[in-house]
Structure 1
Amino acid sequence: MSDSPLRVWLEKEDRLLRLRLSRPKANIVDAAMIEALSAALDKHLGSAKLTAVILDAEGSHFSFGASVAEHMPDQCEVMLKSLHALITQMLDCPVPILVAIKGQCLGGGLEVALAGNLLFAQANANMGQPEIKLAVFAPAASCLLPERIGQSQAEDLLFSGRSIDGNEALRIGLINEISEDPSAAAEAYFDTHLASVSASSLRFAVQAASADSIERIKQKLATVENLYLQELMATHDAVEGLQAFVEKRTANWEHR
């Protein structure tokens, strides 16, 4: 459907599932996008011959992030729980998810990317978790980044809210490969390394490689989600930061 926020199709004799965020230029990870991604995974992951998923985006940017309006106090619980359910669904994906990143990949957009396995990005891509600048934090990234790049590197990105380019992301292990055309690089990885393997055996390899880290992420995510909803959102500054962003004004921190 033309009004869908996501394009979904199969390639390579139905062994490769393609998911493409299709609301350029921002490709916001809002309720509709989350629902579309979850439905596509539900529909296709049961296929025995499916061997991999490629997640990319239309336009010049992967995603500007989650919907800030949906982070406001009256909506944030529903939004956060649905996003975290999608993250968990991606972590439980039985086949590798290859993510192709170009342009901006920020906030909730990067959290979705981090739930994949292998990440391919342009050298001038811009990746970061800027949530702290709005006086909130990134719950999923707080769980995913330490597992991927280590505690100290994760803390740098989460505490500063700064963004990094593809070269720095490669250096710290956030991404696997730099390419001018990351979607083509992800497809080439599939063709070279995955197309010839047994889909059933690859599923065991995926499970074996990540069983312990996924369990840690799931347990921590429940704790962090509660911290966000029950404690952070009860503070003045968290609400003020979000309202200031929506109203396009400078936030007034009261440090409480």
Structure 2
Amino acid sequence: MTDIANAALPGLTWADHSGVLVVTMDRPPANALNHSLVASLRTFFAELAPQAAPAPVVLTGAGARFFTAGGDIKELEGTGPAEIEGRMRDFHALLVALDRFPRPLVAAVNGHCVGGGMELVLFADTVFATPNAKFGFPEINHGLLPADKGIQRAERIIGARAVRSMVLSGDLFSAEQAVRIGLVEHLEEPDTLLGSAIVAARTAGAKAPVLYGALKRSVNDPDDARDERSLADTIAAANAYFVDPVAAGLRAGWNRDKVSTSRQPTDR
């Protein structure tokens, strides 16, 4: 099915379920998107897409509480502008790879799906979620910004008014609300989530690949020039907020809160 080596992609595992690849972000305790995991996801999709018959993919998170908690803010401590630019380039490249993946991509959201996790889900063809899942773009409250490409995708999928409210408030919202606004198609209990997502991916994968890929391109409308503008906007914004003292204070405060929380028992 795929000759991508598991050992070469830290934080990521996958298994073949009768023709469907279940890809799992596995980075305890919250599957946070550090530089390494982002690179693993980007490599996986970039190497799978050109294969002669890429398998349909279900993307999920390990554990019962987190799909992914988004970007790993702690990893930013002690880094400089060059490092933040590199991170944003890699995450943008991951979104581009998802945008151009020609085969079915189903998200099975097993818990909190925030920040960068929201951006991943926005590029899935179909989204399943458990009723306890939470969604949102909390970056404004933590001294960060989402990638411009992710925000533009959100505006296309959800609508400008809803996205404006999400990104400017930073508030999280429920799985039921995610269904109402069109982010999530199906709610499933935890014990049926993965199975239902696999069935959906297998059903979609049975469609003629040449037709599925062409229709997906038409719907997604990938555009190299637009992507270059989004990347430039993302890097410019990152360079500005990375050195801004108010944003830096928000990041530092969030890290202190995370350290305090991490000392509490977790049922990941």
- Please indicate, yes or no, whether the TM-score normalized by the shorter chain is above 0.5: yes
In 2, the alpha carbon distance for the partners of 1:200 and 1:51 equals: 13
Is the partner of 1:105 in helix, strand or coil? strand
Q: Is the 8 A contact 2:143 2:246 kept in 1?
A: yes
TM-superposed CA distance for 1:217, in Å, is 6.2
Q: How does 1:120-135 map to 2 (within 5 A)?
A: 120-135=128-143
Q: Is the contact made by 1:101 and 1:121 (CA closer than 8 Å) also made in structure 2?
A: yes
Give a deviation string over 1:151-185, Cα, whole Å, max 9, x none. 00001110111111111000001111111133222
**SS state of the match for residue 221, structure 2?**
helix
Cα deviations by residue, 1:105-135 (Å, 9 ceiling, x for unpaired): 1112222222222111112201111111123
Is 1:239–2:248 an aligned residue pair? yes
After superposition, where does 1:27-38 map in structure 2 within 5 Å? 27-38=31-42
Residue 219 (structure 2) pairs with residue 209 (structure 1): yes
Q: 1:68 to 1:132 in 2, by over 3 A?
A: same
Aligned to 1:221: 230
1:160 aligned residue (149, 163, 169): 169
Distance (Å, rounded) in 2 between the aligned partners of 1:217 and 1:78: 19
Calculate the aligned-residue CA RMSD, in Å. Answer: 2.3
The 5-angstrom pairing of residues 17-166 of structure 1 reads 17-60=21-64, 61-72=66-77, 74=80, 75-140=83-148, 141-166=150-175
- Structure 1 window deviating more from structure 2 (27-36 vs 230-239): it is 230-239
**For residue 194 of structure 2, what is the aligned residue in structure 1?**
183
Change beyond 3 A, Cα 1:182–1:206: same
* Structure-1 separation of matches of 2:206 and 2:74: 45
* Range moving further from structure 2, 153-162 or 117-126: 117-126
Structure of higher RCO (CA pairs closer than 8 Å, 6+ residues apart): 2
Give the alignment's TM-score, normalised by structure 1.
Answer: 0.86
Q: C-alpha separation between the residues in 2 aligned to 1:226 and 1:146?
A: 20
Q: Is the 8 A contact 2:60 2:108 kept in 1?
A: yes
For 1:134, give the aligned amino acid.
H
**Amino acid paired to 2:231:** A
Inter-CA distance 211–173: structure 2 relative to 1 (3 Å threshold) = same
Is 1:199 matched up with 2:209?
A: yes
Question: 1:9, CA displacement in angstroms?
Answer: 3.1
Going from structure 1 to structure 2, the CA distance change for 1:50 and 1:109 (only over 3 Å counts) comes to same
Aligned AA (1:9) = A
Structure 2 letter corresponding to 1:89: A
Q: Distance in 2 between matches of 1:206 and 1:142?
A: 19
Q: What is the SS of the residue equivalent to 2:13?
A: strand
Structure 1 unaligned blocks of 5 or more = 250-256
SS at match of 1:247: helix
Distance 1:10 1:45 in 2: 16
- Picking from 6, 12, 21, the partner of 1:6 is 12
Q: Percent identity?
A: 20
